[in-house]
């Protein structure tokens, strides 16, 4: 018995040893198959020059996809991320101390005397909400929402001493000073004035009750500007008796999101950008211009020499106060809610990423591609020759010649527009509940309205064998005979599902539907629809409604699958479609374009992803560009990727340039020849293989060709 037990124990130990040895060898084998590339030396070339690089590392071979990708971020300017958890609303630097106001966790105090090495000194008011921080002399005034205003004395080494509380009956959102008076924006309680000239005592010396709740305050030369209605700024002057005397109202065309005084001018943030007013006469602001280089402006921060604007996509723009021009953007592909400035450094905080430290001097020139701005919201794009059409949610159908960079968009139709479909000579425009319009674009620079169809209410549309197929969202799909353009005839409709997008060939119609996945119909000669198959996706599509698109090319259907990325489906047999592969896409996949063996996916919060689908069963990541604010529209033409960016307009990005020649010098050394780069700017190097993906920012800089 003892012998059997001994033999059993020995056998068990041998098995465990073998398992551990196998696991260790598996880990070694797997680690040997991880793509590891050293950062190559940076290269500078002129426009039109080829690029040659030497790459060193493991698991790099001739089959790797090696590309130059237009740089869309400023990661090289990001010095460090200091780990402070939470969501932050406000930031202020005073005497080398950074104060961060949290949405729930009170006040964080950090020493930034060594700008790139912050050090946490203390935390105050745990559990409190701080929406604004103001400093006067050696005091902090913290606007705490429903908690009123908290006064703190600033002592040595960043310590804070609680002085007093100012209670309000509503939400306190901001404070400022007019001479010795503390002015408090107290919501429905109005504007409150306190005498702060004596120690820690707070004497209410005046109040101002307005018709609506006070949302914001700013001031200039003893003049107070009060926002209490969506698009009206009330102007007050303080008299000798500390009373606020109303001077007038500044009427604005758009709802105000934020405003600030900087460099003697009033800047007002709206959904259409930034309105600039001269304050030569502070009592009567005079409109000067609108700056729309960043689309919808949300928050404004005044720095030493620049004005910073955060837009609705958390992109940060810096405006030079002397030139009043957007001189650069800081794109970190991260949520930014507040900032503070110290010399060349910016301290950015947002939602749960920590405190980002950015060196402004390292924000370099991006690739020299263009962004075209509209006064509305860009949703879709169509291009013919040098002419580009934009479906704009506010501006209608817009047209521009890309060869005329200084010209403005011309309006082809004033009707709010969703998406396009075009054949050789006609442009079909889906306009939702307004119906549809058709234009003759034989001469793309001079489109002619052919017909308006108010009854053809479309969100997406396509043509199959002469029939117009439209999606109607919750109302399914409809098929129209449009042989007689004067009177489209409804041939068939399916109303029992929520249709998100449509693609069509001569014989079949492919519908991306919310709950039913990919539906394939045969289209009869009479325009009738016969369901051939229904591919219920292995994901609950109702989790990502209004974000699914489908493109069909060479018997392959490519589906932008919301949070689930890209799905590739073999539809050669319409009755038995087969999922070939699923490919993860960062963010929320919304739009798809196909070109030369690649699928280009636009993704909300994920930018543009290029996927090599030459082997549809094993797609490979071929490039990734961090573009913010994407809507559905994306097209690829003549070496450029055009993406619709809602309020940010339309951006053109060079298609990634792949290596033309790869010589394997050794198992750890590749010599790579890349094509000539014709667009100046900075380019990232991206390498992809079945073993991984590596990206290095700004490896190649392309300068303008010297004359």
Q: Which of 320, 318, 356, 319 is nearest to 336 (CA)?
A: 356
Sheet holding 338-342, edge to edge: 78-82, 355-359, 345-349, 338-342
d(CA 589, CA 560): 5
Q: What is the pLDDT averaged over residues 218-243?
A: 86
Instruction: Give yes or no for residue 328 having a pLDDT over 80.
Output: no
Considering only residues 421 and 195, tell me which one the structure prediction assigns the higher pLDDT.
Answer: 421
3-state secondary structure 109-154: EEECCCCCCCEEEEEECCCCCCCEEEEECCEEEEECECCCEEEEEE
Strands 669-674 and 51-58, sheet pairing: antiparallel
pLDDT mean over 424-443: 96
User: How far is residue 310's CA from residue 295's CA, in Å, rounded to a whole number?
Assistant: 10
Residue 6 pLDDT > 90? no
Is 188:210 a contact under the CB 8 Å cutoff?
no
Higher-pLDDT residue of 588 and 115 is: 115
Give CA angle at 168 (165, 173), nearest 5°. Answer: 90
| Res 333: pLDDT | 61
List, for residues 76-104, the tens digit of each pLDDT value: 678 888 998 889 999 999 999 999 999 98
CB 312 within 8 A of CB 604: no
Cβ-contact 546, 560 below 8 angstroms: no
Tell me what percent of the residues of the chain surpass a pLDDT of 70: 88
Distance CA 676, CA 6 (A): 72
For 335-357, write each residue's pLDDT tens digit: 788 999 999 999 999 877 789 99
Q: What percent of the chain has pLDDT over 90?
A: 56
Strand pairing category for 661-666 and 657-658? unpaired
Going by C-beta distance under 8 Å and a sequence separation of 6 or more, which residues neighbour residue 641?
593, 600, 608, 625, 634, 635, 652, 653, 654, 655
For 306, phi then psi, to 5°, come to: -135, 155
Predicted local confidence at residue 369, as pLDDT: 60
Higher pLDDT, 274 or 351: 274
* pLDDT confidence of residue 374: 83
Q: Name the nearest CA neighbour of 372 among 649, 679, 653, 70.
A: 649
Dump the DSSP string for 603-646: EETTEEEEEE-SSTTS-EEEEEE---S--S-EEEETTEEEEE-B
Weakest mean pLDDT among 15-24, 133-142, 358-367, 630-639: 15-24
Between residues 197 and 235, the one the model is more confident about: 235
Q: How far apart are the first and last CA of the chain?
A: 95
Name 205's Cβ contacts closer than 8 Å, sequence gap at least 6: 181, 193, 194, 195, 242
Mean pLDDT of 130-153: 94
Buried/exposed code over 20-54 (b: 16+ C-beta within 10 A; e: otherwise): eeeeeeeeeeeeeeebebeebeebebebeeebebe
pLDDT of residue 348: 92
> Residue 447 is encoded by which pair of tokens?
């489109």
40-42-47-53 Cα dihedral, nearest 10 degrees: -20
- pLDDT for 323 equals 52
More confident residue, 290 or 615: 615
The pLDDT, as a whole number, for residue 542 is: 45
The backbone torsions φ and ψ at residue 28, rounded to the nearest 5 degrees and listed phi first, read -65, -45
The pLDDT score that the predictor gives to residue 548 is: 77
* Residue 20: per-residue pLDDT: 39
CA 503 to CA 469: how far, in whole Å? 9
Q: How confident is the model at residue 295 (pLDDT cuts 50, 70, 90)?
A: low
Q: How big is the chain by its Cα radius of gyration, in Å? A: 30
What is the rounded CA–CA span in Å between residue 672 and residue 127?
Answer: 56
The domain at 37-72+366-373+655-707 falls in which architecture?
Answer: Sandwich (2.60)
103-to-129, 145, 339, 601, 658 alpha-carbon distances in Å: 5, 10, 15, 34, 45
pLDDT tens digits, one per residue of 302-321: 888 888 888 766 678 888 65
- How many Å separate Cα 697 from the centre of its chain? 19
Residue 127 CB neighbour total at 10 angstroms = 9
Assigned token pair, 451 = 């017909």
Token pair of 403, please? 């060869």
Provide the pLDDT confidence category of residue 117 given band limits of 50, 70 and 90. Answer: very high
Rounded distance, CA 252 to CA 268, Å?
A: 9
Tokens standing for residue 647: 């309020």
Q: How confident is the model at residue 29 (pLDDT cuts 50, 70, 90)?
A: very low
674 or 239, which is more confident: 674
pLDDT higher than 70, residue 130: yes
**Which residue carries 């619709």 as its tokens?**
644
Residue from 211, 263, 206 nearest 232 by CA? 211
Average pLDDT for 600-607: 87
| Phi/psi of residue 39, nearest 5 degrees | -65, 125
Strands 692-703 and 43-46, bridge-based pairing: parallel
Residue 177 carries which DSSP code?
E
Confidence class for position 536, pLDDT limits 50, 70, 90: confident
For the stretch 502-531, pLDDT in tens is 999 999 999 998 877 899 999 999 999 999
Q: State residue 284's pLDDT score.
A: 94
C-alpha torsion angle, residues 646, 652, 658, 660 (rounded to 10) = 170
Where is pLDDT greater, at 457 or 197? Answer: 457
∠ at Cα 638 (657, 417), nearest 5°? 120
Please state whether beta strands 410-413 and 396-401 pair in parallel, antiparallel, or not at all (unpaired). antiparallel
pLDDT tops 70 at residue 539:
no
* Region label for 597, one of left (φ > 0), alpha (ψ between -120 and 50) or beta (otherwise): left
- Has residue 489 got a pLDDT over 60? yes
Closest CA to 310 of 91, 516, 466: 91
Under the banding of pLDDT at 50, 70 and 90, the label for residue 494 is very high
Give the range among 200-209, 415-424, 557-566 with minimum mean pLDDT: 200-209
Helix (H, G, I), strand (E, B) or coil at 362: helix
Which letter does DSSP use for residue 706 in this model?
A: P
Please provide the average confidence, as pLDDT, over all residues in the chain.
86
Mean pLDDT of 608-629: 91
Q: In which region does residue 516 sit, left (phi positive, over 0), alpha (psi from -120 to 50) or beta (all else)? A: alpha
Among 112, 118, 132, which residue's Cα sits nearest to residue 173? 132
- Cα 139 to Cα 152: distance, rounded to the nearest angstrom: 6
- Is the pLDDT score of 706 beyond 80? no
């Amino acid at each position: 018995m003892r012998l059997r037990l001994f033999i059993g124990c020995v056998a068990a130990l041998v098995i465990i040893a073998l398992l551990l040895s196998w696991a260790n060898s598996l880990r070694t084998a797997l680690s040997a198959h991880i793509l590891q590339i050293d950062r190559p030396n940076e290269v500078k070339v002129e426009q039109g020059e080829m690029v040659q690089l030497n790459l060193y590392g493991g698991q790099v071979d001739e089959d790797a996809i090696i590309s130059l990708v237009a740089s869309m971020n400023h990661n090289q300017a990001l010095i460090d991320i200091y780990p402070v958890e939470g969501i932050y609303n406000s930031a202020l630097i005073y005497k080398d101390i950074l104060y961060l106001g949290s949405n729930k966790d009170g006040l964080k105090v950090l020493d930034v005397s060594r700008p790139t090495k912050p050090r946490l000194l203390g935390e105050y008011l745990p559990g409190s909400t701080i929406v604004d921080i103001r400093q006067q002399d050696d005091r902090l005034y913290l606007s705490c929402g429903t908690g009123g205003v908290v006064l703190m004395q600033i002592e040595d080494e960043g310590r804070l001493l609680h002085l007093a509380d100012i209670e309000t009956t509503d939400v306190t959102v901001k404070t400022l000073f007019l001479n010795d008076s503390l002015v408090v924006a107290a919501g429905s309680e109005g504007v409150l004035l306190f005498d702060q000239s004596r120690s820690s005592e707070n004497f209410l010396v005046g109040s101002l009750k307005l018709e609506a709740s006070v949302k914001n305050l700013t001031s200039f030369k003893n003049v107070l500007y009060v926002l209490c209605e969506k698009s009206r700024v009330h102007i007050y002057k303080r008299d000798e008796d500390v009373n606020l005397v109303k001077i007038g109202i500044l009427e604005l065309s758009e709802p105000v999101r934020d405003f600030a005084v900087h460099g003697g001018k009033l800047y007002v943030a709206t959904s259409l950008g930034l309105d600039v007013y001269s304050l030569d006469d502070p009592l009567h602001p005079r409109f000067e211009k609108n700056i729309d280089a960043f689309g919808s402006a949300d928050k404004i921060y005044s720095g030493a020499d620049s004005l910073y604007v955060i837009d609705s996509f958390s992109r940060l723009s810096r405006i030079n106060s002397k030139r009043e021009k957007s001189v650069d953007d800081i794109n970190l592909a991260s949520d930014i809610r507040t900032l503070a400035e110290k010399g060349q450094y910016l301290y950015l905080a947002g939602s749960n990423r920590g405190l980002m430290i950015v060196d402004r001097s390292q924000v370099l020139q991006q690739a020299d591609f263009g962004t075209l701005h509209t006064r509305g919201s860009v949703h879709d794009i169509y291009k013919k020759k040098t002419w580009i059409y934009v479906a704009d949610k506010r501006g209608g159908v817009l047209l521009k010649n890309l060869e005329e960079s200084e010209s403005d968009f011309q309006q082809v139709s004033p009707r709010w527009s969703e998406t396009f479909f075009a054949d050789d000579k006609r442009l079909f425009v889906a306009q939702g509940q307004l119906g549809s319009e058709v234009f003759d674009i034989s001469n793309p620079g001079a489109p002619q309205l052919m017909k308006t169809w108010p009854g053809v209410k479309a969100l997406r549309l396509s043509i199959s064998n002469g029939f117009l197929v439209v999606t109607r969202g919750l109302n399914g799909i409809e098929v129209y005979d449009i042989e007689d353009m004067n009177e489209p005839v409804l041939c068939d409709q399916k109303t029992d599902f929520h249709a998100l997008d449509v693609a069509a060939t001569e014989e079949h119609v492919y519908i991306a539907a919310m709950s039913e996945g990919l539906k394939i119909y045969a289209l009869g000669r009479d325009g009738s629809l016969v369901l051939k198959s229904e591919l219920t996706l292995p994901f609950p599509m109702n989790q990502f409604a209004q974000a699914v698109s489908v493109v069909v090319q060479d018997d392959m259907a490519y589906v932008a699958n919301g949070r689930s990325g890209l799905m590739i489906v073999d539809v050669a047999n319409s009755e038995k479609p087969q999922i070939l592969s699923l490919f993860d896409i960062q963010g929320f996949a919304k739009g798809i374009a196909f070109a030369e063996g690649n699928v280009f996916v636009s993704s909300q919060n994920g930018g543009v992803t290029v996927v090599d689908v030459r082997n549809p069963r094993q797609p490979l990541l071929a490039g990734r560009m961090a573009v913010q604010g994407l809507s559905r529209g994306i097209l690829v033409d003549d070496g450029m990727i055009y993406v619709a960016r809602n309020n940010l307009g339309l951006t053109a990005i060079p298609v990634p340039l792949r290596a033309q020649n790869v010589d394997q010098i050794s198992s750890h050394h590749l010599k790579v020849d890349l094509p000539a780069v014709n667009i100046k700017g900075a380019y990232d190097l991206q390498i992809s293989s079945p073993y991984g993906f590596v990206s290095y920012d700004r490896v190649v800089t392309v300068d303008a060709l010297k004359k």
